[in-house]
Structure formats: C-alpha cells, structure tokens
Structure 1
C-alpha cells in the first residue's frame, strides 16, 4: 500500500474534480456592515451633536472634566460611539507620546488604537442588560480602587444602564459620587426615565438629539461615494426619512438597498424594499371610504385579507395617508417617503376634506386600531371600523350644523323628518315669539316634540317667562338633557335664542294642574246656578258629566 500512487496522481479515474479556491479567497477579510465600518472615530465625524461636542471640548480644554457622564437618546444617534470618543479624548497621548486630554484625539497612538479596537485593558465596556445584579456592580466597586494599568484614566462604559437592578444602583451610588481621581464613568441609555434620580444627580447629562433628515442624507451620500455606489438623491432622502433620526438605522437600510439594487439605488427600489410600494392599495381604500362606497371598501378589505395583509397594518396605513392629507392641508412640506403620485393625491384629498372631517376620521381610525388589536377576529373588527368611517363621512360637519342653528335655519336639521319638519322647511324659520308659556308649548309640539310638550305641561311649573328667558321649577324628575333639548326645541320652533334655567323658586302649578283647578271651579259654578240646582233637586240621581261653554253661551232664555 505504501507503493500505491497518491489519489491525485491515479491515472484513468475519469473524475472531473472542481478546482479548489486559492488560499487568498479563504483568508480574505470578512465584509463589515456599513454601520460598523463608518462608525465615527473623531468628534468631527459625529453628526448632529454639535452642542455636546462644544461642551465637552470646553470642559477638556479647561480641565473641568466630570467624573461621570450620562448619554441618553433614541437608538442609533451615537451614544456608545460618543462614550468611546470621550474615552479616547481623555486617554490620548498624541503621536509623540507626550500629549494630554484633547477633544481631537490623534487616533494613531496606542491608547487611541486600542480603544477603537475594543482591546484597551483600562477601558471596560459592560452591557447592563446582561449584567444587572449587585454582584456585577460589586466587581466594579472592588476594581476602581486600583489605578489604571497603562492609561491616564480607568474608564467604565455601561451601556443600557437603566436595566441595572435597584440594588445594583444603590450599591453604585457611593462610588459614583466619590470615585477615585483616576476613574471615569460613562453611562448610555435609551430610557433615562428609568434611571433613579439619585444616579442622575451624580452625573453630567447629555441628551443626544435625533439627527435631522438633511444631515443624514448628506452623510449617506458621503458613504455611498466612499463605497462607489450610485444612489439617487431622492433615494437618500427616503432612507433618511425612514431612519427616523438614527444614523445606524439609516446605514442598515442603505446597506440593504445597495444589495437590493446591485450597485445602483433608486427611490422606487427603496420604497419597494421598505414595503411602501403597496400604498396605492391604502390610497384606493381611503378613496372608497370617503366616497361612501361600501361594496368597494369591503371588497378591497377582503382582498387585502386574502393576501395576508395585517388589519392593524391596514389601519395604520390609512392613518399615515390621512396624516399626509393633514400636512398637505396645513401647507407643510411633503414627506419624502411618498411618491409624487401620493403627494398629488394628498393635495386633492386635502381640498375635499374640511378640518372637522379630518379630525373626526383620525379619531375614528385611532379607535378602530385599538379595537382591532383587542378583537378576537381582527378582520371583522377592521370591517366594522371602516363601516363606521363610511357613515361618519356621510355626516354633516358639526360646525356647519351649529352655524345653521345660530342663523335660525336649523329646524330642518335638528327636528326629526316628517310632515311637520317638511312644512317648516318649506315655510322657513319662525320669526315671531309666542305671547305666553302655553303658546310656546304649542309651537314646540307643532315642531314634532310631543314628548317634550307633555313634560312641559305636566312636570314643570312656570316661574318666569319673557322673550329671552324661561325659568321653570321641576315638579317631577326630569332627564339630564332636559334643558339642552328644550333650548334647542324652543329655538327651532320660534327662531329666537332662549335662556332656559331650572330653579327651586316658587312657581305656578303645572298647566295640567291649572286646567284641573279651572275645571273644578267651572263645575262648582255650574252646580250653583239656580236652574241646575233645581234640576238636581228634582232628580237626585242626576250627575253633571260634561260642560260645554259654547252651548251655554248660545242657549236661549
């Protein structure tokens, strides 16, 4: 067997073996994502945080360096990068090894390079999300007693510090307030409200702001040129808008867009990649809702459901479209996430909708989104929410109704439909005020408010009546909306504005009681007449059943 040839030298095997890749391909450096490759290495490369850089620069120049810094802001604005830059600034020794703390670290000395590579022994980074307990903090407390090995300062960078436990924070307080002169603490967090006040009071706080879309777009353009990629200006604006102020998020989107476009990135490709291309469906659905087209609305909703579109995402898309309409109506700049077709549609829709309708639709969409998230069947909840939107779109604007009521033309709107309402609509609003309280009740009943007329006759007593004021004393329990309904009904029936008020002052009996008293008096008067008295005496069983005053007045002697 020792004399047999090597397998690669065996003749006549007839095997077509693939060529082995050269060693250079195996040892090539792995690809680094843009968010890591273009992480700022100097304060001049840190975008959007000029105020903080100025403060730190002045503090370092004057030797007023705090012992603890707290960096807070949304994700991707540069909290951890800033902490590393501060560590480099405090420990830089310059190219000649004789430099001191500076806001412009050289980046070539051993401390700068070691900190940038994350291997400096005196710059300790700790993730509070995985080191939350008091034992982890106790290790820090024990270690701060010893001086730095090779650096000017021993620096502890604790990311997401708000995730430390309460006991861990309490254990850190004393050391944080009076640390040794060679120790600096740098805390980073996205939820500063969860950091105890006792810790905040011991730190110099810097709030890192969201980076503006313009600065992000310029930064992404610089990165694209460095990568040799052709990216449209509008695509850069779309990416910057989608990043929501986060440089890291934007670089991740740009990285994905470059891979998606194979070296060329267009705005259309970015919108499609971000899932914005399907906004046409949202726009058509909103058009159908505003047109009160129930069949089309339900058809599009069912089609989206069959395609697997989440009902919550559908309602959020409608809210985004309505928000774009609001911005257009207010004259604000268009959103770069929208295509030109979407911007034109927003302008057209803004001309159709009033401010009241926009706000009403927004509230209904917000309510519908909450219902969809809680309903057992989100699709059914979305259907009911859109049907409610359609009916709301058909309603007149409340401001218009109030204006018409104020102008005296609201009787046809406020009163229910019917012959009486139609008669008032054709004859126009009443302009003459009633002479007395019973006449007002008659006018209200003629306006179709029979139940309110019964209440006015039976359940209240008149205290004061004038052309502008109506004061009543409740004799029986009234509904909570009685005054409002009476005010509206009196205005609709007479065309004048009424001040209606309920009081405990003494008043007249109800009209029903007054009619009963008047009838009793009339009966007594009739029975006292000589002829009636003689008749009853002759016929003891006779009963006075009814009185007809008109017959009495027309009787012959």
Structure 2
C-alpha cells in the first residue's frame, strides 16, 4: 500500500475525533440526537479547519445503517463507503470548477430522484462562493424548498461573496482558527502514535507556522519528518522554515538593554551572515517583547513553549514597562516602513538605532544632546520651580518712571472667553522688550505668603462700555490713564534695577513701535509680518453678560485634612528642594512622611494617585532623596489616605486663601465701590485672580 499523508490518514471520522470547534459540534450533535434537521447547512472558515470533514461526518450520521444519530458506527457498508469516498448518495461538487449555470441546472435535475442506497441524498458543494450569479439564482428555489430526502451542505472560505438570499436559506456555522496550543497538542498525539521522535520546541514552531490551519500543520509535519530523516527536531524545523534561533533575538534585546551600539551592530552583522528574513526577524522581536510585557503584568501567563520562559522573566525584571511599550511601538512602525527602506537590512538597523537613540531619558546610557530652547516661558517649560500644578502668575503693569506718562501702556482688553487665562498669558513678555533673567532661590520655590496679596486682577463691567480692562490694585493704586482706547496697547515688563530704561516716546510713535516690535539679533525666527489693522465692530461683538454672571466659576474645594505637623511638615519643607518634576513630582506631591527609622523612610500615598504609581516612580523618588541627603535611603510607599496635609493639599489651601483675600480686597476697594455707586458697575466674580507683583524700590 502506498504512503498516505498525515493530513488524510488522521482526518477525523466522528465528532469525537474532531479537534476544537466545540461551538459547532455541540449544535450539530444536539440537532442529530433530537432529529431536528435543517435542509441546508453552511460552514465557513479559513483553510484546513474542518469544513469538509464535518460535512462528511454529517453525511455518515444521516445515512448510517444503525439509524440517525451523532455517533455513526463506522463499520457498516455506508460508513466505510463514505470514508473511502465512493458513496453514491454523497455528491461532492467542486464549485470552483463548475461555476456555469448549466452545471448547476444539470446538478438540480437529479434532485427530484430518491437516493439509491442511503436514507438521504447529500449534496456537498465546496467553495460555493465561486459559483456565478446565475448559478446562485438557479439554486435559490431548490435550496429554499428541497425534497424531503435531500440535504445541502455548503462550505466556503469567503462568505462575504455569497448573496444574502443564499445566507438566509442556510444555517451558518463559522469555524474558528486553530490556536498554536491546540495544534501542538494534536501534533504531539499524532507523532506519539506514529512512533516518531520529536522535540516540543519543534512542535511550537510548526504550530505558529501553520497560522491557524490544522491541515497546514500536518503537511508541515510531513515535511519536517522528511527533512529530519524520521525525526522532528527544533534545529531542523527552524532551518526548514527559515526562522532564526531565539538566542540571537535575545542578544539584540540585551544590547538594547545595555545601550551598547557596538554590540547591537555586531548582533545584526551575525544575523546577516545567515541571510534571514528581516521582516520575519522584526516580527520575532515583537513577539518576544509582547511576551515580556505579559510577564510584567502576569508572570504565570507566560508559556514555556519555546523553552525561554526564564529568559522572558529575566527581561521582564530588567526592562522598565515603559521601555518595553516604547520598543514594541517603535518596532511596529518600523515593520510598516521596512518596505520603503533602501534594503531590508538597513531598514532593520535603523529601527534598532531609533530604539537606542530615543529610549526614555532616565536610562543611564541613553545618548543626551543639548536641545534648542523651545522659546516658551519658564513657568511652562520648567516644572522644577513649582512641582505641584498651579496657575501661572501674571506680570504687573508698571511705568518706567515714577510719573505716569500720557503714553503709559495699559493692559489690553481681553475677550470674555479668555478672562480666566489672562494671568497665564501675560507671564510671557512681548518680543523685543528687555526682560530680566529669572533668579532661582529656595524661597522662590515655596508657595507665596497668604497674609496680603501684592496685587489683584478683576474685571469690572460698566453699563455703557463694551471692552473690559482688568484693574490692578497696588500700593498706592495708579491713576487711570488718559490714553485713547483706540490705540494698540502693549504690556510692559516688571522693573529691574539692572535693566536699561528706554526713553519715553510720543503717543503716535509708541503706537507704531507697538505694532512692529524689534527683533532680537540672536533670534532665528523671522520678524512678524506687517498685517493690516482690523477694527472690531462693537455691534458685532455678541456676548451674553447675564449668562456669564449667572454661572460664576466654582471655587477650588479645600482639603479636609488638618495642617501638617511633625514629619509631615518637614516633608512639606523638603519636597520643593528635591528638584523633581513630571509624574514623579505629582506622586511626591500627594505623599506625606509618616515615619523615619534610621535610613528607612515610610510614606503614605493618596490612593487616588495609585493609577500613576509604579516601581519606576518610587525608584526615581528614592534616587532624588539619596542625592539630596548624600547617602542611600530606603523608601517605602504605601497606598493609604494621608492623615495630614500633603504638598498638593497645602498648595491648594494656600491658593484658596489667596483667592479669598483677593476677592475681599476687590470688594473693599474704594475706587471699585465708587464705580459701583456712580456708574452701576458690576464685578464679575469669576474674573478675580490674585496676582503677585514685586515691590518697586
């Protein structure tokens, strides 16, 4: 007898021998046992998942001499003839070769005749989506109301090409792809029964190469047996499939972990000697990174199918979680762009070099190059001065000399939607105006005192006046300027002793100078263009002031914990001096120090910040404490609601107190009271903001 391939030799002959597809088998077994049989079944799924096999088993169940049941005997003449493919009442049609409507009509002419030997005449139409439109139309009526002795079994790999009229006349069953675990389990059973030596790693390679198809897995196993001279070994299967050893992939990952560019390029050179598939190699690298990410979340979920579970767990311990996600995303993008590279090897090298060059900045060996100043204010770019999030402080408006000149600049009127952000936007001076460099000091880091705010901004609406200008309360308050409203105002910087004082200019010259500011010689940005002035029509300036008054901004809630004392107060004093920023500063700002035992510090972190907290943030905070104290400390952080104020809560309380003082100063201001009494002015409560101004000498 000639050799029979494994895919045909081990084709299931009963539902019990089927591998997987439990959701389909359960419905078919119950229908057969209860005699609730439909006249048309449609099986869909990718190649090699059991569509034709299930259809043949159903034909045996319907025509077995022992009766209709889900367990055919397999010994009667009908069962044997169906297994051998010579049963006369099982008509198998290849729709790919019989697509014409004449072939379908010829097929349907014999439907009316009773079966020759069996109980039912079964029509098995494979790849039914290949039929023409006219063939489908010819099949519709018979498929809807066939004779009682006829059953239709349709199979297709592309159900989207079937007309809706065909789908509505069939019971549709979607067969799933075979996962690698189930393929490996079945191959292990088959090779054990065939007495063929094998390695489990080789079966995992075959299971992944099969890509969900059990028939492909069996065919690849036949090829591996022939390649390995009667054995299925991992090295032979890897050579047959053209895949690389996982050890070389781990060599690339270890070079990335160490930040060693020389070792990384040496690993690529060694890989190039084997002529690999660079796209497949990048996919294998992504597969390892995926398993490392799974190991970091749930170590017990990592399988040992490739014999590298220990290596995966070791990488999960060595690589930070954010690095793993960064490498994975960079690899995905690189795999997408790999066909655009001049050659696959250079594209693969560039992906690895990008991983190395743009790794997270806290890595010890990451390349660091000075970046160009982005050109934004320090209050926005540098968070070391105020680690806890807070509002930017506005610069005051002060004349260059003691007297108020006629052309004294006035803060321009802001639209109502931008009133809340007026203080923040004024922190950045206009181009061309000399500004003093910021001075760092420990006292500048701490929150400002709340006894008496230096200045307060507010918006007062007059009944007849559309534009609204913020009022600045200083000591003593300045007189209202007599400059016309139509002039283009520009805010001046705070006075600095060392800064040169520009001479006063005429009002007309001031307006022209404000329109085109002087450009800095070192600034590489081009000067702004000379744009036409556009005067806003007061009638077109539509804003609902009544709605704005009815919906004032809600005040910031005060913390419900007592002020810090003891160790918690010491932590409030120490926190601004650590020089941390970003997410680590946010974590530290919501902590409080509860115990210090030698070099062991214990802190409580607000559970509301638990989603942002991880081992990396704890390590960074510990390193900042070590650097500040000059000795190694052991930091323990517990997710527990602090019993005393944290730095974030203390900053929120101080902001609320300053806001209350600012509102009281505006309401008690004599000038504001005079405007309310004489002009029926209205104070917009949501526009009051405390402003810190330096004292003018």
TM-score, normalised relative to structure 2:
0.53
Change (3 A) 1:389 1:152: same
1:72–1:206 CA contact under 8 A, matched in 2: yes
Q: State the 1:34 CA deviation.
A: 0.9
Rounded to whole Å, the distance in 2 between the matches of 1:518 and 1:137 is 99
Q: State the 1:275 CA deviation.
A: 4.2
Residue of structure 1 in register with 2:337 after alignment: 371
Match of 1:520 among 487, 506, 511: 506
Q: State the 1:463 CA deviation.
A: 6.3
| Structure-to-structure mapping, 1:160-309, within 5 angstroms | 160-211=127-178, 215-232=182-199, 236=203, 239-240=206-207, 242-267=209-234, 269-271=236-238, 273-305=240-272, 307-309=274-276
Residue of structure 1 in register with 2:119 after alignment: 152
Residue of structure 1 in register with 2:660 after alignment: none
Computing the radius of gyration over CA atoms, which structure comes out larger, 1 or 2? Answer: 1
CA offset digits 1:506-535 (Å, max 9, x no partner): 5577653789997436999xxxxxxxxxxx
Residue of structure 1 in register with 2:2 after alignment: 30
Rounded to whole Å, the distance in 1 between the matches of 2:318 and 2:30 is 55
Partner secondary structure for residue 393 of structure 1: coil
Match of 1:132 among 99, 118, 129: 99
2:393–2:423 CA contact under 8 A, matched in 1: no
CA offset digits 1:104-133 (Å, max 9, x no partner): 222232322222111222212222333334
Rounded to whole Å, the distance in 2 between the matches of 1:34 and 1:87 is 23
Rounded to whole Å, the distance in 2 between the matches of 1:249 and 1:136 is 31
Q: Which structure carries more helix by proportion?
A: 1
Q: State the 1:87 CA deviation.
A: 1.0
Partner secondary structure for residue 362 of structure 1: helix
Q: State the 1:495 CA deviation.
A: 8.6
1:458–1:510 CA contact under 8 A, matched in 2: no
Q: State the 1:257 CA deviation.
A: 3.6
Rounded to whole Å, the distance in 1 between the matches of 2:391 and 2:199 is 72
Rounded to whole Å, the distance in 1 between the matches of 2:221 and 2:313 is 30
Residue of structure 1 in register with 2:638 after alignment: none
Residue of structure 1 in register with 2:29 after alignment: 57
Q: Does 1:390 align with 2:356?
A: yes
Change (3 A) 1:194 1:294: farther
1:124–1:157 CA contact under 8 A, matched in 2: yes
CA RMSD between the two structures: 4.5
CA offset digits 1:208-233 (Å, max 9, x no partner): 33445555444333322332223455
> Mind listing any 5+ residue stretches in structure 1 that lack a counterpart?
1-28, 94-98, 398-412, 441-456, 479-492, 498-503, 525-557
Q: State the 1:284 CA deviation.
A: 1.9
User: Larger relative CO (CA 8 A, sep 6+): 1 or 2?
Assistant: 2
Partner secondary structure for residue 124 of structure 1: strand
Q: State the 1:37 CA deviation.
A: 0.7
Rounded to whole Å, the distance in 2 between the matches of 1:60 and 1:523 is 98
Match of 2:395 among 427, 434, 437: 437
Partner secondary structure for residue 93 of structure 2: strand
Aligned residues: 432
Rounded to whole Å, the distance in 1 between the matches of 2:279 and 2:89 is 49
Partner secondary structure for residue 126 of structure 1: strand
Rounded to whole Å, the distance in 2 between the matches of 1:33 and 1:243 is 16
Q: Does 1:104 align with 2:88?
A: no
> Mind listing any 5+ residue stretches in structure 2 that lack a counterpart?
364-369, 399-408, 431-443, 449-465, 471-486, 494-501, 511-697
CA offset digits 1:284-314 (Å, max 9, x no partner): 2233344443344344435544543233223
1:48–1:210 CA contact under 8 A, matched in 2: no
Residue of structure 1 in register with 2:61 after alignment: 89
Q: State the 1:65 CA deviation.
A: 1.0
Rounded to whole Å, the distance in 2 between the matches of 1:301 and 1:176 is 60
2:100–2:135 CA contact under 8 A, matched in 1: yes
Rounded to whole Å, the distance in 1 between the matches of 2:226 and 2:324 is 40
TM-score, normalised relative to structure 1:
0.65
